[in-house]
Amino acid sequence: MPLATTKTNLFGLDREEMERAALELGEDCFRGRQLYHGIYHDLNFHAEAITSLSKRFRGALAAKFQIALPEILERHPSRDGAARYRIQFPDSNAVESVYMPEERRVTLCLSSQAGCAVECRFCFTALMGLIRNLTAGEILGQVCAVIRDQQISSRMRLNVVFMGMGEPLLNVASVMKAVRIMIDQNALGIPLRRITISTSGIVPGIKALAEEPLRPKLAVSLNASTDEQRVSLMPINRKYPLRDLLAACRAYPLGPREVLTFEYVLLASVNDSLPDALRVAKLLRGMRAKVNLIPYNGGPGLPYRPPSFDRVLDFQEALAARGVPAFIRISRGQDVRAACGQLTLEASQKAG
């Protein structure tokens, strides 16, 4: 378990907060900016290693602050090159993050909350309920812990998706603070267009995100073709029915080449029929949107099965024939409990 300490963690502070930390220790503001660059851009996780700072400042920092990443509790490498992580914070709460390398890029799937309140019926994280929101530092900590563990080079193209544990639009302040540090050229320098927030359909959150001056890409977890079906899979649909959700999506401002992504988890004999595909095409008619079809990959304990591959292809063809681009996304790390929340739930069951 990571050691609890009374020292303030610099990791997770933004540039202005680091400037204030420098001023507190009798240094100029620009020393705070050097500290910020040293941590997030050069990935130094000890004040002593940031040699652009004076020895006196490094000593004062070490006495009052710490630079602490969360602890990697478990790493599960998959045969397909991906790795699933269980990452723990000082209060013992743990989340899951996934590393997915491709030839010239790496995608990191992050958690935004410990547990989740949204109760999607096909999701293991839902079984935990919400434990708490993550801080910006805990979100960035997942990125930096995996970068360090996998020794990801700065030349590698990095994509970030908020599709791990939690509903990011129920923790917008911390998610957006982390995103602003991710995209800053003086910090991690990840292009905004390579960051995606995936939501279960929190309409006020979509509207709030629409107001942000710098917006990551938006993906909406649709998973159903009617309100009735969606309520049975995602009870959140009672609060934010399809009509309101799709209206918020239609009003969402998009860049010149940007499209909205709708995620659709295909569950055998539940939502994978041809009439479902036709209704989805009708719902999305006229939108600049694409659909990612994700054959269900859950484990034991949930009452769903993956569809046959033919069924997935038929669904894709039916959407494409009606002008909705659809792509089949196979979850990475199938051999290492690919379903989100599965590792954590298993760990808590063992502990209990």
Any idea which residues carry the catalytic annotation? Answer: 96, 340
- Rounded to whole angstroms, the Cα distance separating 68 from 72 reads 12
What is the three-class DSSP state of 198?
A: strand
- Please say which residue, 43 or 117, places its beta carbon nearer to ligand SF4: 117
Using the contact rule CB under 6 A, the part of the chain among 11-19, 162-170, 178-186, 304-312 near ligand SF4 is: 162-170
* Token pair for 256: 């010149």
Site string for ligand SF4, 61-100 (x = CB under 6 A): ----------------------------------------
Q: Which are the contacts of 179, defined by CB distance < 8 A and separation ≥ 6? A: 192, 195, 214, 216
165 lies in the binding site for ligand SF4 (CB under 6 A):
yes
Backbone phi, psi, residue 153, to 5°: -75, 150
Q: Residue 220 to residues 3, 144, 249: CA-CA distances in angstroms? A: 38, 26, 9
- Candidates 87, 116, 172, 219; binder of ligand SF4 (CB under 6 A) is 116
Residue 89, both tokens: 């914070």
Nearer to ligand SF4, 176 or 339 (CB): 339
Closest contact distance (angstroms) between CB of 123 and ligand SF4 is 3
Residue 170, both tokens: 């129920």
Q: Report CA dihedral (98, 93, 65, 109) to the nearest 10 degrees.
A: 20
166 sits near ligand SF4 (criterion: CB under 6 A): yes
Closest to ligand SF4 by CB, 70 or 168: 168
Label residues 267-278 b or e (16+ Cβ within 10 Å = b): beebbbbeebbe
Asked if residue 167 binds ligand SF4 (CB under 6 A), the reply is: yes
Dig out the tokens for 40 from the structure.
């997030």
- 323 burial via Cβ count (<10 Å: 0-12, 13-18, 19+): exposed
Element (H, E) at 112: none
Q: Is 267 in the site for ligand SF4 (CB under 6 A)?
A: no
- Least distance in angstroms from the C-beta of 130 to ligand SF4: 9
* Residue 21 interacting with ligand SF4 (CB under 6 A): no
Part of the chain binding ligand SF4 (CB under 6 A), chosen from 48-56, 79-87, 123-131, 326-334? 123-131
Query: Minimum Å distance from CB 202 to ligand SF4?
Result: 9
Burial status of residue 149 (CB atoms within 10 A of its CB: 0-12, 13-18, 19 or more):
middle
Orientation angle between helical segments 15-24 and 29-36, nearest 10 degrees: 130
Size of site (CB under 6 A) for ligand SF4: 12
Any contact of residue 145 with ligand SF4 (CB under 6 A)? no
Report if residue 126 touches ligand SF4, rule: CB under 6 A.
Answer: yes
Residue 200 binds to ligand SF4 (criterion: CB under 6 A): yes
- The answer to the question of residue 249 lying near ligand SF4 (CB under 6 A) is no
**Binding of residue 263 to ligand SF4 (CB under 6 A):** no
Here the tokens at position 278 are 């036709």
Kindly state whether residue 19 participates in binding ligand SF4, applying the rule CB under 6 A: no
Given the rule CB under 6 A, which residues bind ligand SF4?
116, 118-120, 123, 125-126, 165-167, 200, 340
